[in-house]
Structure 1
Amino acid sequence: MSLGELSDAFGLGASTLNRQTASAMRAGLVERVPDPDGGTARKFRLTDKGARMLDEERERTVESLDRVMADWSDEDIAGFAACLRRFSTDIERLGGRPWPRP
């Protein structure tokens, strides 16, 4: 993704994204690559290390949620998921950024 695409996706300004992407590059989590579509903008791509850390964090989150909801019924989990989806969609809508975005 380019800085512009990241800005649009996360609703963050260029200065914030410059700091965050520079930090992620220093940590070896992302790298800058030429635009694969031939454009002039450079893109950011996850490194193997970044992808591995993302997968590990996602796994820890799922394990935590599994522990929290261990005694929940399937109906309770489905209801919670529906409410969370509605909540998130309404936040995006009120922010003028309806989901899903193109």
Structure 2
Amino acid sequence: MDEYGWAENPGMPAAEAVRAGWAATVAAVPVGSRLTGTVTGRRPFGVFIRIDGVPDAIALAEITRMPLGMELPVLGALAAGEVYWHDDRNHQVRVRLDEWQGADG
């Protein structure tokens, strides 16, 4: 699989499942809560994370929250961070990764 190829990744939940489970996702990982998961996709704009304990959910850590001089985590990396927003349009949990906290940027 290409570093930026994630649509064919069997680790990603189906879009229909993500939409159907959105209310449960928002309840499970509210804004301000912490989450952990596995990086299942990399794109030039950020990484997608499969959230532990919430099988039909996807988090997105965008580069807009990444301090200068840091790099995106690699595919398969374990990630942890704080939820700062729920994107109702895309059904994504937005997260700032712990490794980005307190870094100069």
TM-score, structure 2 length as denominator? 0.23
- Identify the structure with bigger relative contact order (alpha carbons < 8 Å, sequence gap 6+): 2
Which of 1 and 2 has greater Rg?
A: 1
Structure with the higher fraction of residues in helix conformation? 1
TM-score, structure 1 length as denominator? 0.24
Structure with the higher fraction of residues in strand conformation? 2
